[in-house]
Amino acid sequence: MELNRRTVIAGAAAAGIAATALGSGTAEAATGSGGRKPVKESFGKLADGTKIYRWSLENGGTRLKVLNWGGVVQTLEIPDRRGHYANVSLGFDNIDDYVAKTPYFGALIGRYGNRIAKGQFTLDGKSYQLSVNDGVNSLHGGTQGFDKHVWDVEPFVKGSDVGLVLHYTSVDGEMGYPGTLKTKVTYTLTRRGEWIIDYEATTDKATVVNLTSHVYWNLAGEGSGTIEDHELTIAAGKYTPTDSGLIPTGELATVRGTPFDFRETKTIGRDIRAGHVQQVQAKGFDHNWALDKGITAKPEHVATLRDPRSGRTLKIATDQPGLQFYSGNFLDGTLTGTGGRTYRQGDALCLETQHFPDSPNHANFPSTVLRPGQVYRTRTVHTFDA
């Protein structure tokens, strides 16, 4: 007899399954109304002696492990159609690899997710030079982006929800960005097993900001092989073509008649080797889809990813105007993950909710400017099923 996700979750709740702490570190746990407080344990130290911790959360059948290093989602476990759990997020089992090797596995990205051409932009008549770390361009905030800092973490239980509130303050001039940016990101697991990310930021000087999460998904389980048989739908009739440096040209091109058309569900592998010039440049898919809905007051469903073998399904809702679909093109077999297996090209994919890449240099793109007195606020909702 096959079990659907609702049956699995109900069984787990009846059995009183709690968050599991791994390793020999000291654990802190407390119960509260409607849920269990996240469990904290040691995850090693940085070279300077700074302690790194991991928090384990569980609710509604979803299990999440998060580091204070970069807000990293180290593992995310969900059941398949038979109730069998697997970690569906790529990551490492030690802090040293996250510091030295990671291609942003599971990390919070800022101040600016994606690329800014030549690390340069002009705001209110003043030019800024950012840290460059992707050839001549700036990628994901520069050499020391938000993914490479220790965040302050506060666990919470609120009614039937459990989660973490993460704080990081980026000082004026960090990586070349103007203004002191105070950032708060909240990870929430709901009783239905949804994983919600709420981003919030304020500044004391006009700046640009574009925060996102860089989870690498493989719904068959990390280290299980290619995601080319995963089925994907993206609610977008246009995308932003790029130059050879993966910087948007400024064009909003139709997906019709191209490999970039995911308006109807299709496997990722069906057109990934179609030979389109944009795919050749990116070694696959690594582009921003301009979502049909644009910017919305509340999150709306924009993408569905499904692994037909396990039945695991991920639905993403966002209020943002863009979605970066990256097909794991630069995984090259040199990284070994949490399950002891190596990650090769196409072994995972990213679906990053965002404003468009290089928006500060394209007047026709939605603005990413944040000014004093304003609050940057956005939400992304991940819903799991099987």
Q: In 257-379, which ranges are continuous DSSP H helix?
A: 277-282
| Location of structure tokens 């073509």 | 241
Q: Which of 138, 70, 79 is nearest to 105 (CA)?
A: 70
Cis ω before 111 (30° cut-off from 0): yes
The answer to whether residue 214 is catalytic is yes
Percent of the chain with pLDDT over 70: 91
Annotated catalytic residue within 214, 287, 355, 382: 214
Tell me what pLDDT residue 349 has. Answer: 98
Tell me what pLDDT residue 345 has. Answer: 97
Helices (H) and strands (E) in the chain, counts: 3, 31
Tell me what pLDDT residue 18 has. Answer: 31
Q: Which of 360, 324, 364, 323 is nearest to 177 (CA)?
A: 360
CA distance 320 to 380: 8
The answer to whether residue 362 is catalytic is no
Task: Identify any residues that bridge with 112 across adjacent strands, giving them in sequence order.
Answer: 210
Spacing of C-alpha 313 from chain mean position: 16
Tell me what pLDDT residue 36 has. Answer: 83
Locate 352 and state its tokens. 């990053």
Furthest-apart CA atoms within the chain: distance in Å: 66
* 314, 384 Cβ separation under 8 angstroms: yes
> Which residues of the chain, if any, have pLDDT below 50?
1-34
Annotated catalytic residue within 58, 140, 352, 355: 352
Tell me what pLDDT residue 13 has. Answer: 38
* 208, 111 Cβ separation under 8 angstroms: yes
